[in-house]
Amino acid sequence: MDETAAFEKFKECAVEVLQVRPDQVTREARFAEDLDADSLDLVELVMALEESFDVTVDETELEGVETIEQAFNLISAKL
Amino acid sequence: MLLGWGPAGPEGGQAGLRVAITGLGVVSNAGIGLDAFWEGLCGPAPEPGPARPVTGFDPSMWFGPKDVRHIDRSAQLAVAAAEMALADAGPIEVDPERAGVIMGTGVGGLATLEVQVGVLLSRGAGRVSPFLVPMMIANRGAAAISMRLGWRGPCETTVTACAAGTQAIGNAARLVASGRCQVAIGGGAEAAITPIGMAGFTNMTALSVSGISRPFDRDRDGFVMGEGAGILVLEEWGHAVARGARIYAELAGAASTADAHHITAPSPGGIGAAACMELALADAGIAASAVGHINAHGTSTPLNDIAEAEAIAKVFGSPGPPVTSIKGITGHSLGAAGAIEALAAVLSIVRRSIPPTAGFVTPDPRIALDIVAGAPRACTPGPVISNSFGFGGHNGSLVVAPS
């Protein structure tokens, strides 16, 4: 899967779980400030991403993840 | 409503501040909103069936898309009814530290718990929603209301099965009567029409086999599952008058007792229920003979209705004042039932009419009550007593009086 396709798939998960518009899910978007997502939302998003990409993310890996870019990199590094 | 008892009981107890009922909100299978609800109560009984869900409830009218996913239906119903009650009450300026929320519920977010147990079994613990706990906790409805309003006084939930809505309103009223709160929301909410909820009530043989709710009828065979939410805005009398609020009625008395007898069966002769009604009347400072009508718990189960009838006969004599049970229409909405019924009691004072007991056709020879049936009965406004009894032996009674 190339990166563009992977990001589109990532975006679909974010739109579904965070109930935001697709155009809000930019790489720079911050979870708290831009997407109104708190830590529980982030956990739910990661669960959806784990299912969608068939990867496993440890809870400790989420520390410091504040933007879409950081979350996407975390997933894409495992592909 | 009393704040303290005397050494010998409620007689000579200390009277509290008067409690005005200034706002009503209801989400019910009989109707959403006061007019639809009342029409539903006075209309024909629904088709037979094991459950009567609320239809036409659109959570997106009250919540954004994320909250629709992350707030269980039971709390959604609570918030919607609270918003409707506050809109009905008109603009209230209140010190947020002196504004409280007391809700009642039987179980809370049962649908959420059930879905997530399914996730646990089918996909493993790692896939259980991080929102399970905040969605299933029984206090979520009260918390959601206080967060929405910014009310920072007492915010608590009474969990006493089918007595919860009634007892929550009593507890909320006491906060106002004591002066602790200038305004308090009291009510109940329930949404337990789920596969596991239905299975549990079915297998304990509480649900009607015929699917017909017919309180006090000879052929009654159990209750029909309902759901919904009812909310009363309770306000210190002087506070309500000062802002020019419309006062529907006075929350004049409340009582709570326990049977201490059996987890599901009422105490023989309804003695716990009778004690509760007597204390509610004493709390309100009125004689049994002054009661205009009784809004009964009347679930349509063989055991409840006979015990409640015996309790009513003990307190009021036979046949006593007119008795109605709206559960012929609404079925039994568990922790919401008492709140929805208190609301019906208020409306019957305002509308000078007692809604009939739908489904009641054949009198039970063992029940010597004046059951209002067939059509609404015109009445002169008088105090109404509203009863609720819950598994666990919990008894709650409210006295609502014309203002």
Question: Between chains, do A40 and B134 touch, taking CB under 8 Å as contact?
Answer: yes
Tell whether A32 is within 8 A of chain B (Cβ). Answer: no
| pLDDT over threshold 90, residue B225 | yes
- How high does pLDDT run on average in chain B? 97
Tell whether A43 is within 8 A of chain B (Cβ). Answer: yes
The pLDDT assigned to A46 comes to: 95
Question: Between chains, do A47 and B64 touch, taking CB under 8 Å as contact?
Answer: no
Q: A59 falls in which pLDDT band (50, 70, 90)?
A: confident
Using a CB-CB distance cutoff of 8 angstroms, which residues of chain A are in contact with residue B130? Answer: 40, 43-44, 47
Q: What is the pTM of this model?
A: 0.96
SS3 assignment for chain B: CEEEEECCEEEEEEECCCEEEEEEEEEECCEECHHHHHHHHHCCCCCCCCEECCCCCCHHHCCCHHHHHHCCHHHHHHHHHHHHHHHHHCCCCCCHHHEEEEEECCCCCHHHHHHHHHHHHHHCHHHCCCCHHHHHCCCHHHHHHHHHHCCCCCEEEECCHHHHHHHHHHHHHHHHHCCCCCEEEEEEEECCCCHHHHHHHHHCCCECCCCCCCCCECCCCCECEECEEEEEEEEEHHHHHHCCCCCCEEEEEEEEEECCCCCCCCCHHHHHHHHHHHHHHHHHCCCHHHCCEEECCCCCCHHHHHHHHHHHHHHHCCCCCEEECCHHHHCECHHHHHHHHHHHHHHHHHHCEECCCCCCCCECCCCCCEECCCCCEECCCCCEEEEEEECCCEEEEEEEEEC
Residues B314-322, mean pLDDT to the nearest whole number: 96
The pLDDT assigned to B233 comes to: 99
The pLDDT assigned to B12 comes to: 86
Contacts of B272 (CB under 8 A, 6+ apart): B257, B258, B259, B260, B261, B266, B311, B389, B393, B395
Residues B339-365, mean pLDDT to the nearest whole number: 98
Tell whether A51 is within 8 A of chain B (Cβ). Answer: yes
- Which residue of B60, B63, B66, B71 to mutate against A (max A Cβ within 10 Å)? B66
Smallest Cβ–Cβ distance between B69 and the set A19, A43, A47 belongs to: A19
Residue of chain A whose alpha carbon sits nearest to that of B123? A51
* Structure confidence by residue, pLDDT tens digits, B67-92: 999 999 999 999 999 999 999 999 99
* Strands B394-402 and B370-371, bridge-based pairing: unpaired
* Structure confidence by residue, pLDDT tens digits, B166-196: 999 999 999 999 999 999 999 999 999 999 9
* Structure confidence by residue, pLDDT tens digits, B360-383: 999 999 999 999 999 999 999 999
* Structure confidence by residue, pLDDT tens digits, B100-159: 999 999 999 999 999 999 999 999 999 999 999 999 999 999 999 999 999 999 999 999
Using a CB-CB distance cutoff of 8 angstroms, which residues of chain A are in contact with residue B129? Answer: 44, 47
**Bridge partner residues of B51 (DSSP):** B225
- The ipTM (two decimal places) reads 0.90
The pLDDT assigned to B220 comes to: 98
Using a CB-CB distance cutoff of 8 angstroms, which residues of chain A are in contact with residue B65? Answer: 19
The pLDDT assigned to A1 comes to: 80
The pLDDT assigned to A69 comes to: 97
Using a CB-CB distance cutoff of 8 angstroms, which residues of chain B are in contact with residue A15? Answer: none
Active-site positions of A read 38
